[in-house]
Amino acid sequence: MKPYADTPVRMSLQIAADLLALAWVYLWVGAALSLREVLMALERPGELMVSTGEGFSEHMDSAAGQALKVPLAGDALATPFTSMSGTGETLSAAGASFQESVASLGLTLPLLTAALPLLLLAATWLPARVRWMRQAGSVRRMRGLAPEARSRLLALRALSSVSPSRLADVHEDPAGAWHSGDREAVRELASLELRRLGLRGL
């Protein structure tokens, strides 16, 4: 498979486009990774909430246990501490939920950040690049044909790929000239197709 054109201008443009595509990929993948680092740093408040809630619940449970040891009034004294222990559990649950949300965002947002620009690249640059390589490769495979057959095939490709205004510069009826076997017109059409692809004569 031929990756680049033969003519310097077309080759330079292709190389520049490829480098821009690589830079585009590097930019958005880097942005996605940076965004993930920022989002993962947000897990710290959730960890603190979980830790604080668990510690608070432990202290309140311990205080409630001590209050229960008080004769007669133990149950009444332990009730507020037991209630506050539930508050600590709520805080821990909120912290865990916050961590789960951050983890979900840390996966989804970076993926979207990278995927959308890469899909745009795959829908624009990549098809054009692959199409050119396939066309150039098919032209190179014509090397085994006789010169006249090769010229007629290239001329036929020109009829379907070159703009009508450029075809009219070659012949007032390029399709008719090809069909009738006008060698001069066929040769010019073949050259037009090679120039379109940025390839030199085979």
Using an 8 Å Cβ cutoff, are 4 and 112 in contact?
A: no
Same domain, 121 and 196: no
Number of domains in the chain: 2
Residue 134 covered by a domain: no
Same domain, 177 and 120: no
Say what the pLDDT of residue 120 is.
95
What are the CA-CA distances from residue 13 to residues 18, 57, 200 (Å)?
9, 67, 16
What's the mean pLDDT when you consider all of the chain? 85
| Highest mean pLDDT, choosing among 71-80, 96-105, 155-164 | 155-164
Same domain, 28 and 119: yes
Same domain, 112 and 160: no
Residue 41 covered by a domain: yes
The pLDDT of 72-89, averaged and rounded, is 67
Same domain, 124 and 34: yes
**46-55, 105-114, 181-190: the lowest-pLDDT one:** 46-55
Say what the pLDDT of residue 81 is.
62
Out of 128, 159, 182, a domain closes at 128
Out of 98, 128, 158, a domain closes at 128
Residue 87 covered by a domain: yes
Out of 128, 156, 186, a domain closes at 128
What is the span of the domain harbouring residue 65? 1-128
Residue 118 covered by a domain: yes
Say what the pLDDT of residue 64 is.
64
Check whether 72 has a pLDDT greater than 90: no
Same domain, 117 and 156: no
Check whether 7 has a pLDDT greater than 70: yes
Check whether 124 has a pLDDT greater than 90: yes
Same domain, 123 and 153: no
Q: Write out the two tokens for 57.
A: 């619940």
For the stretch 9-62, pLDDT in tens is 999 999 999 999 999 999 999 999 999 998 888 888 877 787 787 776 777 767
Same domain, 122 and 182: no
Same domain, 84 and 45: yes
